[in-house]
Structure 1
Amino acid sequence: MEILRTLLIKLFLICCFAINGTSQEKIEIENRIEALNSINEIKVKLHPLVWNQIQKFSKRKSFPKTMGLAKFYFPLFKTKLKLYDLPEELKYLTIVESNLKTRATSKVGAQGLWQFMRPTGKSLGLYENQYINLFNDPVASTDAACRYLKQLYTQLGDWELALAAYNCGIGRIKRILKKTGKTTFWEIIQYLPEETRLYVPSFLAVQFLMNYYSDFGIKPYTFAIRYSDVRLNKAESDMRIDRSSFTNQREKNIFMFLNPHLKTLYIPKGTYYYSIKKPAIVDSRLILN
Structure 2
Amino acid sequence: MKKIISRLLLSLVLLALLVGGYHFLESSTYPESTPRPPHEVVLHSPVKLPDSLTFVGERVPLEYFDVRESLDRELLVNSYFHSQTIRFLKMAPRFFPIIEPILLADTIPADFKYLALAESGFDPRAVSPAGAVGFWQFLKGTATDYGLEVNGEVDERYHIERSTRAACQYLKESYRKFGSWTLVAASYNAGRAAVDKQIGRQHESNYFDLLLGEETGRYVFRIMALKLIMENPETYGFRVADSEKYPAWDVRTIDINTPVKDFAEFAKAHGTNYKLLKMLNPWLREPYLTNAKGKTYTLKIPAEGFRTNTN
TM-score range relative to shorter protein = 0.7 to 0.9
Specify which structure has the higher proportion of helix. 1
AA of the residue aligned to 1:225: A
Residue aligning to 1:203: 223
* Cα deviation, residue 141, structure 1: 0.7
Residue aligning to 1:279: 305
Residue aligning to 1:144: 166
Give distance in 1, aligned partners of 2:61 and 2:304.
Answer: 43
Aligned length: 251
Residue aligning to 1:80: 102
Which one of the candidate residues 246, 251, 255 is aligned to 1:223? Answer: 246
Partner of 1:135, secondary structure, is helix
Percentage of identical aligned residues: 23
Whether the aligned pair in 1 keeps the contact of 2:263 and 2:274 (CA below 8 Å) is no
Give distance in 2, aligned partners of 1:283 and 1:174.
Answer: 49
Give distance in 1, aligned partners of 2:145 and 2:308.
Answer: 36
Residue aligning to 2:263: 241
- Do residues 103 (structure 1) and 119 (structure 2) align? no
Give TM-score scaled by structure 1 length: 0.77
Residue aligning to 1:287: none
Pairing 1:109-120 to 2, within 5 Å after superposition: 109-120=131-142
Residue aligning to 1:5: none
* Structure 2: tracts of 5 or more residues without a match: 1-44, 63-67
Note the alpha carbon deviations across 1:141-177, whole angstroms, 9 max, x for none: 1011111011111211111111111111111211211
CA RMSD of the aligned region, Å? 2.7
AA of the residue aligned to 2:172: K
* Cα deviation, residue 94, structure 1: 1.2
* Cα deviation, residue 90, structure 1: 0.8
* Structure 1: tracts of 5 or more residues without a match: 1-16, 21-25, 285-289
**Distance change (3 Å), C-alpha of 1:114 and 1:232:** same
Whether the aligned pair in 2 keeps the contact of 1:68 and 1:222 (CA below 8 Å) is yes
Note the alpha carbon deviations across 1:52-109, whole angstroms, 9 max, x for none: 1122123141222223322111112111111111111111111110101111111111
Partner of 1:273, secondary structure, is strand
AA of the residue aligned to 1:196: T
* Cα deviation, residue 123, structure 1: 0.8
Which one of the candidate residues 142, 165, 171 is aligned to 2:193? Answer: 171
Partner of 2:254, secondary structure, is strand
Give distance in 2, aligned partners of 1:93 and 1:196.
Answer: 13
* Cα deviation, residue 283, structure 1: 9.4
- Do residues 41 (structure 1) and 57 (structure 2) align? yes
AA of the residue aligned to 1:273: L
- Do residues 56 (structure 1) and 77 (structure 2) align? yes
Partner of 1:232, secondary structure, is strand
Give distance in 2, aligned partners of 1:62 and 1:55.
Answer: 13
AA of the residue aligned to 1:41: G
Give distance in 1, aligned partners of 2:213 and 2:71.
Answer: 17
Larger radius of gyration: 2
Whether the aligned pair in 2 keeps the contact of 1:224 and 1:281 (CA below 8 Å) is no
Give distance in 2, aligned partners of 1:246 and 1:49.
Answer: 52
